[in-house]
Structure 1
Amino acid sequence: MAGQEDGAVTAGGRESRRTTWAEELLGQLRPAGRDVGKVVAWLAEAVHGTACLLDGGGALLAGRPLPPAEELVADVVSGRFASAALEDERRHLRVVRVGGQHSPPAGVLAVSRAAPFDREAADVLSHTAGVVELLLRARESGEAGRRLQEATSALRLAVLQLLMVEDTVSARRVSAGPWPGLLDTDTAHVYVLETHREERERLTADCLDATGGQALVVRCPAVDGHVIVVAPAETTGPALRSLVGGRPRTFLGGSARHSLARTATAYGQAVSALALARFRPDGTAVYAERTHPERLMDPGALRAWSDRLLRPLDALPHHTRAELVATVRLGLEFTAVSAARILGVSRNTVRARMERLERLLGTDLSPLTVRAAVHLALNTQAGLHDETAATPAPRDRAVRLGDLLSGPALRTWAHELLGRLTADTRDLRGTLRAWIAAGGNAERAARLLGVHAQTVREHVRGVEPVLERRLLDTGSDLYEVVLAHLVVGDLEPPALDGPV
């Protein structure tokens, strides 16, 4: 009886130990675990030895390196043996293949210990190999999924970049395979969502879910916290607005509907609306169609002046001219770095093309008044406004920029716009005029005004909600305000009337 009881106790102890290590091993598969390195470390402790995980070439993946046993590892990796053992006076070594015999090995698990391997140690090693295989396969699957996700994201960005330079044919061709029918429409809205950069990945995934494949969702290459959505469907707007509510530090700006060839313009509108959204209780804003200064100019005169100013570009080959114009338009809307990221080229390329335009036009794009005038000409010639594009431009009509800015309707608009600033006692209008004259440089404007540069920045920032335009970021909003100053005579118009 005593012997039977002792045997029962011994068997019970073994079963208890087996249950304990099995539970610990299974615990490595819980979401909080799933770390191959920790599993290998646990194995070494469980068998009272040293353990390591090697890849198919024998390179160390996890654990502590063991004394060389290349032939043993090679036999297991090749599939000649599922496992192998080596014993000498100093150690007992076991090598186990991780993975099925008829599939490429995920790795090799090797354990060395001073004592011989008993049944329990062998079981621990065998079962651990199975757990390690699951973790390695899961890692491979996850990495493959991430690679696919990154490739898809890069493809979306490529489509957006093609739309930004008005190459809608190529954009449709590239998107037709992965997203059939997405760009079959001729028009779309553009939305820009802003969040903290640490939250952008989650916001991007939520945008993809919310739009259900009916929109082009792109992580903005220029601003870390922005997500750009090109949305042909009208239902996309409400779906995106639902993502903003209840999400802290998240805002949404949307454009008016534009043709796909005007995606860059729509993007600029969305960014402008985003600036207003930051002041809205619900964190959203859609670009409001307002009176733009070019619509108050004589259409024929505007077209004639634009064509005359840009006539030096006509000597360029068609492709070169189109590439130059598309780059400069984005370069005027954004910084060179941002434009380069949007286009997928280097910032030196953007700057080189901007400098080439300067040489062709015989001007310097540094002054904001020059940038505003060139921006006006490029947008006019691109046919951004149907009524302007449809108006024939008599080439022999010698129109000067000053003539365009002298119309009564335009003067009324400019006085009303800048007149909004008179109610503020801080002389916002004077600061704004000096800041524009200084090329948007707060330090130079501060020296002209005899104040601190931070005061200039605060005043300009205070102007933005009053005029409902973003000014500290270059772009269409800023150029409209510059034109208003030219119209009322607060600034001298640049000498930009094209070749005689």
Structure 2
Amino acid sequence: MAARKDNIPQPATTAGEQPGWAQELLEHLRPAGRSVRRVVDWLTGTVHGAVALRDDTGALVAGSGPALDENLVADVTSGRIASAAWEDGERHLRLVQVGHPFRTWALAVSRDTPFDRHSADVITHTAQVIELLLTAGETTAAGQRLRRASADLRLAILQLLMVEDTVAARRVAAGLWPGLLEADTACVYVVESEPARRDRLAEEALHSTEEEALVVRCPAMDGHVIVVSPREATAGDLKSLVERHPDTFLGGSVRQSLARTATAYGQAVSALAVARFRPDKTAVYAERTHPERLMDPAALSGWTARLLRPLDAVPHHIRAELLATTRLGLEFTAVNTAKILGVSRNTVRARMERVENMLGADFDDLTARAVVHLTLHTQFTLQDGRADSTFEASVPGLAHLLSGPAVRVWAGELLERLDQDARPLRRTLRTWIAAGGNAERAAQLLGVHAQTVREHVRSAEPVLERQLPAAGTDLYEVVLAHLALGDLETPVFAGPASTHPPG
């Protein structure tokens, strides 16, 4: 070991070798050790003094050095001088400029002994390392801000699609992702994983789809990544993604128009219930027979318009807002609907309560929710969703629509699947629906434990190939099947539709 005048022990070095302090300093540039505070602390011990890093306002960023002349610090941070050295009584001080992408900082060092060439080199190189760390940190922060901004924009586009505002969605997307929403139709996929792995999956999905799909971290479900894509190849890309990750599942919708993104999203979530039981962990929503397709289209449209007639009194844009919110609110909880739409949950509840009051419905009743869901799903196919008063007088009621032979056959085939189980799944499910989906109330009516009710409902899911505990299209179709067979009472509405005979 060789001793220096500043009493800093230095290892002997040969030509081409770095001194020990330089090697230590370089270690701070490794990804695992990058910290400006650590570098300042290291410099404090290396030069046996007090070190402080101050920004262009004079505020202390790291270290705990002595008070400095503000004018001198300002000269360094403004770039008028690069460095300064002076004595203050028994203290020796040195001030060095540290560059930064947007401003200049000052590194101040104070110690009892004078600065020699060695200590000056250590301080100069340390300032350079701090500059690199600050620049890297700013670059990283800028990249994070850009990624957050892009993610926020993708979420905003999804929210616009969810409320059928395709014009605004395309306008937002056009500037950043040209051609993303030029197609009139698309499929929606939902990738499900543990919340801790979602960010990684979202990044992989963006990479695998080459940004030709709308990839959004679901604002409602922490473990979900939503993908909206017009490309046929996206399904294969996402299946490969699922294959590479354990405990990851993929649900996909059938192709829908962009205006029906909310419907497609519901289909993708429904497909997840099936994907969990599949060996390949993927499922596409089966284009199964839906009850509304078995009804007389003209009668169904007329009945739908008649039921929604009270909403015709409000301005068109408010009516559309109420219907879009209610349609999502019947699919998801108020909290999740609020996250999807980017509004408060109180706003969602207020809009739904307004629709509930105008229709004279009781949304605590699953049968009423299922019927309103049917009307909102059907009204989308109407030209303007408003009633023709000359036609609606002759429209039959809900009971007539559900009593058709085709609907009853569909309902019977669906619910008879439950009879193959030795347990009374069908009876439990019917009672659970009548109790508003509340396991405790259903258990009291059946004289069993609430856990038994929950197990029966969960057991019915793979049999019916429908997701039941979470409200949505799957559950409402099962409710309509019970109504068609007369296993549940038809709900009564206080609105105009109830003034007509049930048919």
Do Structure 1 and Structure 2 share a fold, with TM-score over 0.5? yes
Counterpart position of 1:6: none
2:401 counterpart residue number:
404
Moved more, 275-284 or 55-64: 55-64
Q: Read off the aligned partner of 2:472 and give its amino acid letter.
A: G
Amino acid in structure 2 at the alignment position of 1:266: A
- 1:492 counterpart residue number: 489
Identical-residue share of aligned pairs (%): 64
One-letter amino acid of the structure 2 residue matched with residue 159 of structure 1 = I
- 1:111 aligns to what? 109
Letter in 1 for 2:328: L
Q: CA deviation at 1:426?
A: 2.0
Amino acid in structure 2 at the alignment position of 1:490: D
Determine the structure 2 residue equivalent to 1:437.
434
Deviation at 1:443?
Answer: 1.5
Q: Counterparts of 1:248-263 in structure 2 under 5 Å?
A: 248-263=246-261
Post-superposition shift, 1:14?
7.3
Task: Describe the shift of the 1:88–1:245 C-alpha distance in structure 2 as closer, same or farther (beyond 3 A).
Answer: same
Q: Which position in structure 1 is the counterpart of 2:342?
A: 344
Partners of 1:393 and 1:334 lie apart in 2 by: 36
Q: For 2:267 and 2:471, how far apart are their aligned partners in 1?
A: 12
1:96 and 2:79 aligned? no
The yes-or-no answer on 1:424 pairing with 2:421 is yes
Contact 1:300–1:394 (Cα < 8 Å) also in 2: no
The alpha-carbon distance between structure 1 residues 393 and 482, as it changes in their structure 2 partners (threshold 3 A), is farther
- The answer (yes or no) to whether the contact 1:84–1:94 under 8 Å persists in 2 is yes
Q: What are the Cα deviations for residues 134-186 of structure 1, in whole angstroms up to 9, with x where unaligned?
A: 11011111111111111111111111111101111111111111011111110
Instruction: Name the SS of the counterpart of 1:61 in structure 2.
Output: strand
Cα shift readout 1:56-80 (whole Å, capped 9, x = no counterpart): 1111222234334423322211222
| Residue type of the alignment partner of 1:484 | A
1:81 aligns with 2:78: no
State the Cα distance separating 1:92 from its structure 2 match: 1.7
Tell me, in whole angstroms, the C-alpha distance in 2 between the residues paired with 1:12 and 1:38.
Answer: 22
Aligned to 1:5: none
Task: Tell me how far apart the structure 2 counterparts of residues 190 and 326 of structure 1 sit (CA, whole Å).
Answer: 18
In the other structure, the counterpart of 1:33 is 33
- Matched residue, 2:66: 66
From 246, 271, 280, the counterpart of 1:282: 280
Q: Give the letter aligned to residue 495 of structure 1.
A: V
| Per-residue CA distance 1:253-283 (angstroms, 9 max, x = gap) | 0000000000000000000001111111111
Question: Once the two structures are superposed, what CA deviation does each residue of 1:394-421 show, in whole Å capped at 9, x if it has no partner?
Answer: 3221311111111111111111111111
Aligned position for 1:475:
472
Q: Secondary structure at the match of 2:431?
A: helix
Which of 276, 300, 303 is residue 301 of structure 2 equivalent to? 303
- In the alignment, which residue of structure 2 is the partner of 1:179? 177
C-alpha deviations, 1:346-398, integer Å up to 9, x for none?
Answer: 111110010100111112111000000011111111118x9x99x99932213
Partners of 1:251 and 1:340 lie apart in 2 by 25
- Report the alpha carbon displacement of residue 30 of structure 1 after superposing the two structures with TM: 1.7
TM-score normalized with structure 2 length: 0.93
Letter paired with 2:465: E
Contact preservation (8 Å) 2:443, 2:450: yes
Secondary structure of the residue aligned to 1:32 is: helix
Q: 1:331 to 1:393 in 2, by over 3 A?
A: farther
Rounded Cα–Cα distance in structure 2 between residues aligned with 1:330 and 1:192: 17
Aligned residue in 2 for 1:3: none
Q: Counterpart amino acid of 1:458?
A: E
Relative to structure 1, is the Cα distance of residues 474 and 11 closer, same or farther in structure 2, using a 3 angstrom cutoff? closer
Query: Is contact 2:65-2:108 (8 Å) kept?
Result: no
CA distance in 2, matches of 1:86, 1:52: 16
Aligned residue runs from structure 1 range 52-451, under 5 A: 52-99=52-99, 105-383=103-381, 394-451=391-448
Letter aligned with residue 469 of structure 1: R
Paired residue type of 1:243: L
Q: Is the 8 A contact 1:310 1:498 kept in 2?
A: no
Q: CA deviation at 1:196?
A: 0.9
Q: Distance in 2 between matches of 1:323 and 1:139?
A: 43
Partner letter of residue 23 of structure 1?
A: Q
CA distance in 2, matches of 1:107, 1:169: 48
Amino acid in the other structure paired with 1:127? H
Contact between 2:11 and 2:19, CA under 8 Å: does it hold in 1?
no
Whole-angstrom distance in 1 between the partners of 2:32 and 2:125: 20
- The answer as to whether partners of 2:251 and 2:285 remain within 8 angstroms in 1 is yes
- Output the amino acid matched with 2:72: L
Give the TM-score normalised by structure 1. Answer: 0.93
In the alignment, is the contact (CA less than 8 A) between 1:308 and 1:499 conserved in 2? Answer: no
Taking the aligned partners of 1:204 and 1:218, their CA distance within structure 2 comes to 7
Q: Does 1:460 align with 2:442?
A: no
Amino acid at match of 1:332: L
Alpha-carbon distance in structure 2 between the residues aligned to 1:18 and 1:398: 91
- How far is the alpha carbon of 1:27 from its aligned partner? 1.6
**Stretches of structure 2 lacking an aligned partner (at least 5 in a row):** 1-8
CA distance in 2, matches of 1:128, 1:486: 77
1:221 positional shift? 0.6
Find the aligned partners of 2:473 and 2:315 in 1 and give their Cα distance: 28
Please give the alpha-carbon distance, in whole angstroms, between the structure 2 residues aligned to 1:106 and 1:249: 49
Partner AA of 2:392 in structure 1? R
Q: How far off its partner does 1:215 sit? A: 0.6
3-state SS of paired residue (1:149)? helix
C-alpha distance in structure 1 between counterparts of 2:432 and 2:194, whole Å: 30
Tell which deviates more after alignment, 488-497 or 126-135. 488-497
Please give the alpha-carbon distance, in whole angstroms, between the structure 2 residues aligned to 1:227 and 1:332.
21
- Verify the 8 A CA contact 2:79 2:104 in the aligned structure 1: no
Q: Could you tell me how far 1:104 is from its partner in structure 2?
A: 5.1
Letter in 1 for 2:404: G
Whether contact under 8 Å (1:304, 1:393) holds in the other structure is no
Partners in 2 of 1:287 and 1:81 — Cα distance?
Answer: 68
Q: Report Cα offsets for 1:283-308 as digits up to 9, x if no partner.
A: 11000100111111122221121111
